[in-house]
Chain A
Amino acid sequence: MAPSRLTAQAAGVNGKTALRFLLRAFGAAILVLVIWRVTTVGLAEGYPASFWISQALNGLVLGGVYALVALGYTLVYGILFMINFAHGEVMMIGGIAGFFALQFSQSRGWLEGPWPVVVVALLLIMLFGMAASVLIGITLERLAYRPLRQAPRLVPLISAIGASLFLQYSVLLIFGVSPHSYRKPALISGGMRMGDVFIPYTGAIIFITSILLMLALYFIIQRTKLGRAMRAVAEDRATASLMGVDVNAVIVITFMLGSALAGAAGVMLGFHNTVVKFNSGFVPGLKAFTAAVLGGIGNIPGAMFGALILGLIEAIGPSALGIPTEYKDVIAFTLLVLILIFRPTGLFGEVLSEKKA
């Protein structure tokens, strides 16, 4: 199939002026509406500054978790040009595994011990969740995606949808419908107060951990031989393989990296939301994918910033617009549509690769 260069040439494309005008007008109208709502309703409510700050901090925490998941989408998309629809489930399995590790640690009393023991136990819990996610991620790649590398794009997407359902309902069969609740150890259940703003420890830990993991990933991709191989495969799989890059290995490692981040996100989301169940990966997965697209899919910093922006907007948006919080998903998707109207390749463009299969 001939690659469609339409979007790549968007800057130079001519002729769709009427349409573009229509879209711009549409976008501008929504923008005006938003500004009007914010100034007349949101700000008029007269919330104190501390309210906005704690909302924003909340958003950053959620954004950090989305970012970890979004990175998995972006990594896989950058290399295989496929939407790993089951990635949210990979995250959920990390959360479930983390739950059992947490239970185990609790039954051993590790979480009531002195703080170094608790810290190590928490790290082990997260590592266990990550390991479970990695296991599922590479199994998925091997069984559901690898046989479809040469197939048209829709085929792996459907396979991914099948895999996503399979994972969700397997977890349902094995662990039941009822949610499993994460009990926070005493050490991290409090929070700190800065002025009027309350920052829960878990929030701070989640945000810092996300940033550290993202930095680690960025380092791997930019500075190591492995990262170079990944970028080469993303650029041109055939040429990379001619240059001696083991394409299969690179793809597997990409899935491992993405799944590990998702597993960590799953455990952290477990602590954040206090529960996990069979379908708790679905909506965050969708959000994370939205974030990846927002930042320009395939673009690693784009996914991080896209996710943070999405988290922020979701947290602040409903109060700012003076609408119920149930509409936060509407806000997220509307934002996505708006951004894609003005920047069809996302906020930060597609960096990992310009070539689209």
Chain B
Amino acid sequence: MTALLSIQAVTKVFGGLTAVDNVDVDIAERSITSLIGPNGAGKTTLFNCLTGLHRPEAGEILFDGRSLIGLRPDEITARGVARTYQNIRLFGRMTALENVLVGQHLRLHASHWSAILRSTRQQAEERAARTFALELLAFVGLESHAEVVSTNLPYGEQRLLEVARALGSRPSLLLLDEPAAGMNPSETDRMMELVHRLRDEMGITIFLIEHDMKVVMSVSETVAVLDYGEKIAEGTPEEVRANARVVEAYLGPEVVLQDTADTPNL
């Protein structure tokens, strides 16, 4: 099995703080992989390294066999990696539809001259883009909100819109940074169902950061655990749950001996 994404010994340092420390993760095509770890473990920083927002001090990131190191964020997106953000970062004054259209920016090629002249090709491309955007909105369940300005959407729907925007660039790998953060249980279920559909219906590989242990266990096939920037465990959900270092990282050393099986919402 060749990995779609291969993170090799990536290290990112901020001043004196090593936010990501020599981390290796391989992600197989069409898999759902979770990245977990306590707050400040370096998960978001790893995502930032993957999407070109930060340049890692050391290590290699291979996507589809080619290195992503040193590429601009838009180049990485062009390669097929898209992401969402932990603290929602939509284009606030745009409508939901426009957000998704910006997501498609890379997939539109009509020249600016043709936009001025409204050539038939450019018009056809714009129409296709709108249709695709509406399809994506329908896919995440926001078809009725296409014309709503995105800041006016409820919180949970803003998260869904971020997913739709990311899908606009037709990614093969989708990075979701705490997609269910701040959601109630039913919204979380809806989001997790969406994650499955993304993989099953669209064939997109998913790499997601999640806090909620229950969610992680139910959704992912592989789990990697970060603590203080280091990867301390990797494996199936069951393996990770049984791992003493993981429990220690989450709960502190004194509770290691407790029964970890029913620890709720780590």
Contacts and interface: CB of A to CB of B under 8 A. Distances in A.
Do A and B come into direct contact in the complex, CB within 8 Å? yes
Interface of A: 1-2, 9, 12-17
Contacts of B92: 1-2
A12 B55 contact: yes
Interface residues of B, number: 13
Contacts of A15: 52, 55, 70-73, 75
Interface string B78-116: 000000000001001000000000000000000000000
Contacts of A9: 53-54
B51 to A, nearest CB: 10
A9 B73 CA distance: 14
A152 to B, nearest CB: 11
Contacts of B72: 14-16
A17 B14 contact: no
A15 B14 CA distance: 17
Contacts of B71: 15
Given A1-B92, A2-B89, A12-B14, A17 B70 contact: yes
Contacts of A16: 72
Nearest to A14: B55
A1 B70 CA distance: 29
27 contacts: A1-B92, A2-B89, A2-B92, A9-B53, A9-B54, A12-B12, A12-B14, A12-B54, A12-B55, A13-B53, A13-B54, A13-B55, A14-B52, A14-B53, A14-B54, A14-B55, A14-B70, A14-B72, A15-B52, A15-B55, A15-B70, A15-B71, A15-B72, A15-B73, A15-B75, A16-B72, A17-B70
B74 to A, nearest CB: 8
Interface of B: 12, 14, 52-55, 70-73, 75, 89, 92
B99 to A, nearest CB: 13
Chain B contact residues, majority secondary structure? loop
Contacts of B52: 14-15
A106 B89 CA distance: 64
Nearest to A18: B72
Nearest to B14: A12
Contacts of A12: 12, 14, 54-55
B162 to A, nearest CB: 13
A14 B14 CA distance: 14
A265 B12 CA distance: 48
Contacts of A17: 70
Contacts of A2: 89, 92
A16 B71 CA distance: 8
B147 to A, nearest CB: 21
B67 to A, nearest CB: 13
A9 B12 CA distance: 13
Given A1-B92, A14-B72, 5 more contacts: A13-B55, A14-B52, A14-B70, A15-B75, A17-B70
Contacts of B73: 15
A13 B73 CA distance: 10
B70 to A, nearest CB: 7
A122 to B, nearest CB: 49
A154 to B, nearest CB: 15
Contacts of B55: 12-15
B244 to A, nearest CB: 34
B7 to A, nearest CB: 16
**Most-contacted residue by chain A among B12, B53, B71, B73 (CB, 10 A):** B53
Contacts of A13: 53-55
A3 to B, nearest CB: 10
A182 B89 CA distance: 57
A183 to B, nearest CB: 56
Nearest to A5: B53
A10 B106 CA distance: 25
A16 B52 CA distance: 10
Nearest to A17: B70
A192 B214 CA distance: 82
Contacts of B89: 2
